Chains A and B, each alone.
Chain A
Amino acid sequence: MSHSGVDHPRLAAEFVKNDSRAHWHDQALWFVRAKRDKAAQSLPEWETLRERASQIKRNVSANLADYLEEFEANATKMGATVHWARDAAEHNQIVLGLLERHNAKRVVKSKSMLTEECHLNPFLERHGLNVVDTDLGEWIVQLRNEPPSHIVLPAIHIKKEEVGELFHRKIGTDSGASDPTYLARAARKRLREEFLAADAGITGVNFAIAETGGIVVCTNEGNADLGTSLPKLHIACMGIEKLIPRADDLSVFLRLLARSATGQPITTYSSHFHGPREGCEMHIVLVDNGRSNILGSDEFRRSLNCIRCGACMNTCPVFRRSGGHSYKTAVPGPIGSILAPSRDAQQYASLPFACSLCGSCSDVCPVKIDLHHQLLTWRREITVRGHLPWTKRVSMKMARIVLVRPAIYRMAGFLLRKVVLRMPRALLYNPWNAWGKSRDLPPPPKQTFRQIYQQRHGK
């Protein structure tokens, strides 16, 4: 791994060091996974829905250009303005331009992973704007001046006592108060002031419907509705993969999304926007930012099917124990470990290896992305591009040299059993023995299986 790249093993080890906190994090996410299981179980047609969703998304990928143009035409007909952004910089510039044209100073924003990916908040703040994230979890991490650690549960890594302390410092709640209802009410009161004073509302987009030109935003707090109901300007930011062909398809995705994400039958609010309100403006920014490169790749195209439910994170045994921040990318976890190397394979070379290849993510995914196979494909790609750490490169080459020749294999095995595994513990469990830091090596048997077999069969 390059020294400048994300060192997932190191960041994960730091997270694991706090054993009780790491277990608390693991259990919090496992609780969500278990809720998801119950919710999925309640639908006899669950597996059929997954297959349908996967097929719809594959159709979208195969015809994305057409669906995007159809969407643009229909959205425009309803009075929305559609913008196209090649990358994060263009996206941020478009949003800034719109805000400046409306002389907007205060902006309220509902959850949008795309704007996280584009680092919109710091960009707007650098230009003198006041941006408030209005999703409670996002607002908490914003007050802490840190990125979300999970795409659906942005503050899942923070305990309620810590939120109490934060709110005490930032918005003057009672010292020592950690009652969730009390804290949520205080946040609600404060955020209401932000909603009332806002000049513009920014939202993400869960689904954009080509056939109608409408967009759908799913929230549990109603903050997308609040943020777009008062200001005269609504800017909706979305990746180009968020398209679905027909309004009918929504029934498939809305049923899968909330059940997979949090185990709810449906999100509390599924807000449909069809053009601007009277006297107002609605702008939709369609962002590529590397997506068409992924679309062009046979191996990784299916990663664009993702509907950002976060189920792969909740189920991932590594994510639950290493925390979202150990991935150093807006979208962490299994899906993030596929998307991030597409942007910069060297920077994110450790992420496809932050995985035991257990395959739970692929089975939990509501749109049937073969996540763990794509992670394996990324490992090969990283090797081909020369980003594999030399230790792994050399050890695999040596293993091959030994294993292609049975005589050398037998000799290496003999050394392992008769010498290495019989060394004094102090020598065997040396600082370079990464296996042996926490685990004993197996006691060496007297004979190998092949020796016993050959003796018995006189071969």
Chain B
Amino acid sequence: MRVGLFIPCYVDQLYPRVGLATLELLTRQGLEVDFPVEQTCCGQPMSNTGCCDDARPLAERFLEIFSAYDYVVAPSGSCVSMVRNHYAELVGDHPHYAAVRDKTFELCEFFTDVLQIERIEGAFPHRVGLHQSCHGLRELRGGRASELMVDSFSKTRVLLESLDGIELVELSRVDECCGFGGTFAVAEAAVSTMMGRDRIHDHQQAGAEVLTAGDMSCLMHLSGLIRREKIALHVMHVAEILAGYEVAS
């Protein structure tokens, strides 16, 4: 099984640790993992701003680069949702579109759904607050959104809970948006900031030591607020915790 590692552009540039954790998690499963270095960005920022003409060439590049693999895996629900749910409008008639769409997975769902693994060896003896990143939750259906009256599940939570010593804290609003939202964070900075502070406060009142999420974009926004306000809360991507990394300072 040849896995193409899809590392979001801003993770590549700003959060290499998250990319390494993802790589290690996959390699430990005995998979052949390759990072095609030609990759840059899936095109989501342009697409979500409404600029389809700017997003399309990036979507085309993505399909060309990743069509050679059996699976494409990314530590991001948001970028995977872009490929799975929003490429149709941009590159729906591309010869590689359907195949790449069907084999592109977010890291946790790749473990639970494709590898059928729900237990990760390792320990993380900390109190952890899980921020349910919206696109992984509501666009990929990686868990039950609180609005829906269906059976409760969460692919990310299952994996985290399998670690020894971990304690997941209970939030008062289990899946409210952090307020990142791409260009929303800048264009609607006031609301975005208030949303972020409210999320952080929820994790604090729940007694979390570490705030984690499946999308580094949410965490970039939240950790930006945490650093600015000197809040005692660590921020880690789910992949870092699952890979057994130490708590980052």
Q: Which A positions have Cβ atoms within 8 angstroms of B?
A: 8-9, 12-13, 16-17, 19, 22-23, 26, 30, 37, 40-41, 43-44, 46-47, 315, 317-318, 321-322, 353-360, 362-364, 376, 378-384, 388, 392-393, 396-397, 399-400, 403-404, 406, 409, 413, 416-417, 434-435, 437-442, 444-445, 447-454, 459
Q: How far is the CB of B218 from chain A (nearest CB, A)?
A: 10
Decide if B57 touches A355 in the complex (CB within 8 Å).
no
Given contacts A382-B50, A454-B37, contact A9 B20 (CB under 8 A): no
Task: Give chain A residues whose Cβ lies under 8 Å from the Cβ of B135.
Answer: 357, 359
Option from A17, A358, A393, A396 in Cβ contact (under 8 Å) with B45? A396
Task: Give chain B residues whose Cβ lies under 8 Å from the Cβ of A379.
Answer: 48-50
B45 and chain A: residue at smallest CB distance? A399
- B7 within 8 Å of A (CB atoms): yes
Decide if A409 touches B179 in the complex (CB within 8 Å).
no
Q: How far is the CB of A428 from chain B (nearest CB, A)?
A: 13
- Chain B at the A interface: mostly helix, strand, loop or mixed? helix
Instruction: Flag B2-43 by CB within 8 Å of A: 1 or 0 each.
Output: 000001010111111111100100000000000101111101
Expressed in whole angstroms, the Cα–Cα distance for A437 and B225 within the complex equals 10
- B68 within 8 Å of A (CB atoms): no
Task: Give chain B residues whose Cβ lies under 8 Å from the Cβ of A444.
Answer: 14
| A-facing residues in B108-152 (Cβ within 8 Å) | 134-135, 137-139, 145-150
Task: Give chain A residues whose Cβ lies under 8 Å from the Cβ of B94.
Answer: none
Task: Give chain A residues whose Cβ lies under 8 Å from the Cβ of B86.
Answer: 376
Task: Give chain A residues whose Cβ lies under 8 Å from the Cβ of B98.
Answer: none
Decide if A383 touches B49 in the complex (CB within 8 Å).
yes
Query: Most A CB atoms within 10 A — which of B54, B58, B228?
Result: B54
A-B contact pairs, 29 of them (CB 8 A): A9-B189, A13-B191, A16-B190, A22-B194, A26-B198, A318-B191, A321-B191, A321-B194, A322-B191, A356-B179, A356-B180, A356-B181, A357-B181, A358-B177, A359-B134, A359-B135, A360-B138, A376-B48, A392-B49, A392-B51, A397-B51, A399-B54, A400-B58, A409-B9, A439-B225, A442-B224, A445-B16, A448-B12, A453-B23
Expressed in whole angstroms, the Cα–Cα distance for A406 and B62 within the complex equals 12
Decide if A399 touches B46 in the complex (CB within 8 Å).
yes
Decide if A315 touches B50 in the complex (CB within 8 Å).
no
Task: Give chain A residues whose Cβ lies under 8 Å from the Cβ of B190.
Answer: 9, 12-13, 16-17
Decide if A358 touches B228 in the complex (CB within 8 Å).
no
Expressed in whole angstroms, the Cα–Cα distance for A440 and B224 within the complex equals 4
| A-facing residues in B159-175 (Cβ within 8 Å) | 173, 175
Decide if A406 touches B38 in the complex (CB within 8 Å).
yes
Expressed in whole angstroms, the Cα–Cα distance for A353 and B181 within the complex equals 10
Task: Give chain B residues whose Cβ lies under 8 Å from the Cβ of A454.
Answer: 37
Decide if A363 touches B13 in the complex (CB within 8 Å).
no
- B183 within 8 Å of A (CB atoms): yes
Q: How far is the CB of A30 from chain B (nearest CB, A)?
A: 7
Given contacts A43-B149, A360-B147, A362-B138, contact A434 B186 (CB under 8 A): yes
Q: How far is the CB of B18 from chain A (nearest CB, A)?
A: 8
Decide if A396 touches B54 in the complex (CB within 8 Å).
yes
Q: How far is the CB of A6 from chain B (nearest CB, A)?
A: 13
- B185 within 8 Å of A (CB atoms): yes
Expressed in whole angstroms, the Cα–Cα distance for A434 and B223 within the complex equals 16
Expressed in whole angstroms, the Cα–Cα distance for A43 and B149 within the complex equals 9
Decide if B195 touches A356 in the complex (CB within 8 Å).
yes
Query: Most A CB atoms within 10 A — which of B14, B43, B139?
Result: B14
Decide if B58 touches A448 in the complex (CB within 8 Å).
no
Decide if B49 touches A356 in the complex (CB within 8 Å).
no
- B104 within 8 Å of A (CB atoms): no
Q: How far is the CB of B138 from chain A (nearest CB, A)?
A: 4
Decide if B134 touches A396 in the complex (CB within 8 Å).
no
Decide if A8 touches B225 in the complex (CB within 8 Å).
no
Decide if B189 touches A404 in the complex (CB within 8 Å).
no
Given contacts A363-B138, A438-B189, contact A453 B19 (CB under 8 A): yes
Task: Give chain A residues whose Cβ lies under 8 Å from the Cβ of B48.
Answer: 357, 376, 379
Query: Most B CB atoms within 10 A — which of A43, A360, A362?
Result: A360
Expressed in whole angstroms, the Cα–Cα distance for A358 and B180 within the complex equals 10
